[in-house]
Chains A and B, each alone.
Chain A
Amino acid sequence: QSALTQPASVSGSPGQSITISCTGTSSDVGGYDYVSWYQHHPGKAPKLMIYDVSNRPSGVSDRFSGSKSGNTASLTISGLQAEDEAEYYCGSYTGGSTLFVFGTGTKVTAL
């Protein structure tokens, strides 16, 4: 099972919106609405930002939103803030022997 494909980096000015893509196959992203997104600041515990494609856990800012079309899921950060600078990973359930697969990771920079 290969890792899901994400852009290595995405940047934007504070206040702008950015979108991170996460591309898989019909065996993972495209086959199930079980995509999740994680924010990871170096040296800290990863934080769940989105689950089941578009659901936000309690306490996560509504500036974060998720969607999916076909084999590609997306995370949008609206009103980008300096505190949003981090690595972001998508993840998906797979129907195969590898139960869960992560994306390659995207470094978000607020210019």
Chain B
Amino acid sequence: QVQLQESGPGLVKPSGTLSLICTVSGGSISTYYWSWIRQPPGKGLEWIGHIYYSGTSRYNPSLESRVTISIDTSKNQFSLKLSSVTAADTAVYYCARVQMATIFMDVWGEGTTVTVSS
């Protein structure tokens, strides 16, 4: 059974870069799409973007200028970088596997909390 685990710093300074890794276990990262999703405190879920194992990616236009999602198939990992962060980027960040044929997320990580503060 495929499992996902997010990892990375829980605290990032304003104007810095948020960096997270999602490790995929129990299955191959190849042939699937993979996504990052976040949930700010007291708010709903927001799709950040996704990447295909080939490296093709797509981002939420509201974050596109600051987001990079990359993939390392040799490590069965994909990652998120979000630059120029502010307090508004404080959230629980989830990684998920995407079934792209009809766009839904069928496997999720438990999430990791990232706080932007000096």
A102 & B108 in contact (Cβ 8 Å cutoff) = no
Interface of B is mostly: strand
Which B60-114 residues have a C-beta within 8 angstroms of A?
A: 60-62, 94, 96, 99, 102-111
A34 & B47 in contact (Cβ 8 Å cutoff) = no
B69 to chain A, nearest CB (A): 13
Q: Which of A51, A52, A97, A100 contacts B61 (CB 8 A)?
A: A97
A89 & B104 in contact (Cβ 8 Å cutoff) = no
* A89-B103 contact, Cβ under 8 Å, with A43-B110, A46-B94: no
Task: A43 to B109: give the CA distance in the assembly, Å.
Answer: 11
* A105-B45 contact, Cβ under 8 Å, with A45-B111, A97-B61, A98-B60: yes
B110 & A51 in contact (Cβ 8 Å cutoff) = no
The answer to whether the Cβ of A48 comes within 8 Å of any Cβ in the partner chain is yes
B61 & A98 in contact (Cβ 8 Å cutoff) = yes
Which B36-70 residues have a C-beta within 8 angstroms of A?
A: 37, 44-47, 50, 58, 60-62
A 18-34 binary contact with B (CB < 8 Å = 1; else 0): 00000000000000011
* A45-B106 contact, Cβ under 8 Å, with A51-B99, A99-B47, A105-B45: no
**What are 30 A-to-B residue pairs whose CB atoms are below 8 Å?**
A3-B44, A34-B102, A34-B104, A36-B103, A36-B104, A36-B105, A38-B45, A38-B105, A43-B110, A44-B110, A45-B109, A46-B45, A46-B94, A46-B105, A48-B104, A48-B106, A51-B99, A51-B104, A52-B104, A57-B106, A89-B44, A91-B45, A91-B105, A93-B102, A99-B47, A99-B50, A99-B60, A99-B103, A104-B44, A105-B44
